[in-house]
Amino acid sequence: MAILEMKRIEILAMLANSKKIVDLLQEYGVVEIDDHQEESSDILYKVSVSPAISQIERFHASAESAIEILNNYAPVKSSMLASFAPRKDMTVSEFLEKSQDVDKILDRCSKLNGVYKKIQDKRIEIVRCNTLIEGLAPWLELDIPSSFKGTASTSAFIGRLPDAYDRESLISAIVSAEPELGFDVEIISSDKIQTCIIAICHKDGEKDFEQALRRLGFITVSDPNSALPGERMDQLQKDIEKCNDDIAEYESEINSFAQEREQIEFLLDYLMIRIDKYKILDKLSMSKNIFIVSGYIPATEVDGLEEKLEARFDVAISVTDPDFENEDVPVALSNGRVASTMEFVTNMYSTPGHDDIDPNPFMPFAYFNLFGLMLGDAGYGLLMVIVTLFVKLKIKPEPDKMRSVDYGLYCGIFTVIWGALMNGWFGDLPQYLGITFITDNHWYWFQPLDHTTRFLLFCFFLGLLHLGFGVVVNMIGKFKKGKILDGILDNVPVLMIIVGVLPLINSQIGGTALAETVQTLFIYDFLTGPAGRVLYMCLAAGAILVVLTQGRDSKGIIGKLGGGLWAIYNAASGYLGDILSYSRLLALGLCTGVIASVINQLASMPGNPIIFAVVCVFGHAVNLGINLIGTYVHTNRLQYVEFFSKFYEGGGRLFQPLKANSKTFKFKEEAKS
């Protein structure tokens, strides 16, 4: 149960069956199809399906837009846990039957998008009307149309000037510019930034008068209209009301599409499946009569796929070992329920290579312990356990999502264990509630705030165990590759050093109440007794062996000795830095408890039980959310930097088979009649 053996598969069949065979491969979902290349072949050719893919992607974009509109105007009420709900089962026959209505659903999506476009147009019109109304506000006192240009013997100018004027100062400014002109001017409105005016002059002096106004910064009214400004504003208000009525009608029409949400969601999945399939068709080689599909398949799936294909089609199937040196062979993982929860953590760092040892089976115990110790509050862990158990038992997610739920469950269980050992129950909430049996020191090991040094040394102790386990995994990996001697010489001396350091830390780990149990657990008396001196000797022997063995690839005695000394220096400095990194266990563990205690203290200050409950619920929810993020990040960091550096290389490419990537349904086997 680790990295699966991969095989290269080639399928040759009649061209007439190509669509059905690709459909079956997509339904079965165990083959990653690559670009088939046939050297120096004049018979085989490839067909470009890019135009078809582009067309389907446009349809998909239309359906996505439609479902987004429905989500905005007619959202479905669902809980936060709804995303864990399993998809509906659907047979191939049911899928094909629903596919008959795809064109109708696409047409409905287009109509829905068209209605939404009308809403957008009306909203743009409302913005335009409001802008015009805002521009009309200074002109409401104007009792003639803003488009008025004058009479047979006069010319009228309606517009605005920058700055503030009264009638006297404005006339004075115009006269200063053109003293010979005869004119009259009225101020409609004035504020700090502009003055709205109407000015009249004789037609003979129109140009000179306009020039005088221009020198003062005059700008004609931006929206001249034959209606009076007040009438124009009333009309615009009515236009806005009409637009709002139209929008309400269109929104009601959109709500009527809500009953078709399920069909549109099916359309999205249907189109995505077709897009994936058409992208694969680009990789097939074909002639007038046959086609060839090639790719990679886990060895465990070969027999099942061959049986399915040969039962329905006339095919020739070739299964061979891939050329790992010249081919980019993907990596498929298969782990048990607990180990599989670590796969997404590992893949975020790097997928294992084919020569790697799969780290996932070795990670869970240490990972969940580190997570629980960092979060370090039994109350928070209990909440995680309750929520994840509810999701597992009530919602029953699919396997992929179930791994995430199991991850949260195991993190919660170990948080409860370590929180109880450190007496953290929503901080120190029990003492505010009068729950004495939890605060009794016979129920816990020690409190980190009272024994910070002991807690820090305990974190270093766990760090040594974690790093030592990484060295053991490195040795196992080399043994599997047949490098027995390298596995021993590279790792046994380091393990001797790690074991030899344990008495230094163990001697400082004690406690109250549960001290005897913990001392027994860590073999306290053994490590601090005569055997401790033996382990110190083991430490010295390990250091000597590192010097003697790590330079073995160098030439000459001096080179070997120099390489060994350099190795012991690197080991000392590197492991010291790694061990110090585990102090983050202390930092985050204290952070959660201290903030929780502060929340409890703040909640108790008013002396009101209702306020106490509200502050506690809100405060602890925020504290849990923030510290969950920090704990997740730093637990992963300890895996990636400290643990993986001892044995893991990565660099593989995750197996990505052709399958039905649907969000709303999953294929199930046809019922046999």
Average pLDDT over residues 84-101: 85
pLDDT tier for residue 533 given thresholds of 50, 70 and 90: low
Q: What is the three-state SS of 139-175?
A: HCCCCCCCCCCCCCCEEEEEEEEECCCCHHHHHHHHH
Q: Residue 331's CB: how many other CB atoms inside 10 A?
A: 21
- Mean residue pLDDT of the chain comes to 84
d(Cα 571, Cα 567) in Å, to the nearest integer? 6
pLDDT digits (tens, 9 = 90+) for 482-526: 888 877 877 777 777 777 776 665 554 544 333 444 444 444 444
The helix/strand/coil state of 226 is coil
Task: Tell me the backbone φ, ψ of residue 294, rounded to 5 degrees.
Answer: -135, 155
Looking at residue 78, its amino acid is S
Name the residue among 338, 503, 343, 514 with its Cα closest to residue 417: 514
More confident residue, 527 or 486: 486
Strand partners for 145 = none
d(Cα 48, Cα 60) in Å, to the nearest integer? 20
Name the residue among 673, 670, 672 with its Cα closest to residue 91: 670
Tell me how far CA of residue 405 lies from CA of 94, 384, 451, in angstroms.
30, 10, 34
The DSSP secondary-structure symbol of 6 reads E
d(Cα 235, Cα 266) in Å, to the nearest integer? 46
Sheet strands side by side (includes 219-220)? 183-190, 194-202, 154-162, 219-220
pLDDT digits (tens, 9 = 90+) for 272-330: 998 988 888 888 888 888 888 899 999 999 999 999 999 898 899 999 999 888 888 99
Looking at residue 324, its amino acid is F
d(Cα 606, Cα 615) in Å, to the nearest integer? 11
More confident residue, 92 or 151: 151
Tokens of residue 591, six digits: 């952070």
d(Cα 20, Cα 393) in Å, to the nearest integer? 38
Q: What is the CA radius of gyration of the chain?
A: 39
Average pLDDT over residues 456-482: 86
d(Cα 295, Cα 7) in Å, to the nearest integer? 8
Name the residue among 278, 569, 609, 566 with its Cα closest to residue 433: 609
CB 15, CB 47: distance < 8 Å = no
d(Cα 174, Cα 496) in Å, to the nearest integer? 101
* pLDDT at residue 441, as a whole number: 61
pLDDT tier for residue 559 given thresholds of 50, 70 and 90: low
Average pLDDT over residues 75-86: 80
Contacts of 66 (CB under 8 A, 6+ apart): 108, 109, 112, 113, 257, 264
d(Cα 408, Cα 387) in Å, to the nearest integer? 9
**Domains recognised in the chain with CATH numbers:** 147-220 (3.30.70.2750), 337-646 (no CATH)
* pLDDT at residue 531, as a whole number: 56
CB 282, CB 49: distance < 8 Å = yes
d(Cα 136, Cα 239) in Å, to the nearest integer? 15
**Residue 421 pLDDT > 60, yes or no?**
yes
pLDDT digits (tens, 9 = 90+) for 638-670: 999 999 988 888 888 999 998 888 888 888 765
* pLDDT at residue 439, as a whole number: 60
d(Cα 536, Cα 529) in Å, to the nearest integer? 12
pLDDT tier for residue 465 given thresholds of 50, 70 and 90: confident
More confident residue, 298 or 2: 298
Tokens of residue 524, six digits: 């306290």
d(Cα 589, Cα 381) in Å, to the nearest integer? 13
d(Cα 595, Cα 424) in Å, to the nearest integer? 12
CB 9, CB 302: distance < 8 Å = yes
Tokens of residue 415, six digits: 């948080």
Tokens of residue 500, six digits: 């030899």
For the chain, percent helix, then strand, then coil, each to nearest 5? Answer: 65, 10, 25
* pLDDT at residue 440, as a whole number: 64
Average pLDDT over residues 409-432: 90
Side-chain half-sphere of 618: how many Cα atoms within 13 Å?
Answer: 8
State pTM to two decimals. 0.81
Tell me how far CA of residue 63 lies from CA of 20, 51, 108, 110, 158, in angstroms.
26, 19, 9, 8, 52
CB 376, CB 588: distance < 8 Å = yes
* pLDDT at residue 7, as a whole number: 92
Contacts of 330 (CB under 8 A, 6+ apart): 6, 32, 296, 652, 653, 654, 655, 656
**DSSP letters spanning 67-130:** HHHHHHHSPPP--TTGGGSPPEEE-HHHHHHHHTTHHHHHHHHHHHHHHHHHHHHHHHHHHHHH
Name the residue among 293, 585, 328, 573 with its Cα closest to residue 466: 585
pLDDT tier for residue 192 given thresholds of 50, 70 and 90: confident
Contacts of 577 (CB under 8 A, 6+ apart): none
Tokens of residue 302, six digits: 């070969």
CB 12, CB 290: distance < 8 Å = yes
Average pLDDT over residues 257-275: 91
Tokens of residue 80, six digits: 């936060």
* pLDDT at residue 536, as a whole number: 63
CB 350, CB 650: distance < 8 Å = yes
d(Cα 186, Cα 540) in Å, to the nearest integer? 104
pLDDT tier for residue 410 given thresholds of 50, 70 and 90: very high
CB 424, CB 377: distance < 8 Å = yes
Say what angle helices 556-581 and 530-549 make with each other, to 10 degrees. Answer: 130
Q: Residue 262's CB: how many other CB atoms inside 10 A?
A: 12
* pLDDT at residue 620, as a whole number: 92
* pLDDT at residue 524, as a whole number: 46
The helix/strand/coil state of 188 is strand
Name residue, tokens 């040594």. 464
CA 651 to chain CA mean position, Å: 22
More confident residue, 59 or 326: 59
Contacts of 667 (CB under 8 A, 6+ apart): 27, 89, 90, 91, 92, 95, 660
**Residue 89 pLDDT > 80, yes or no?**
yes
d(Cα 221, Cα 132) in Å, to the nearest integer? 11
**Residue 358 pLDDT > 70, yes or no?**
yes
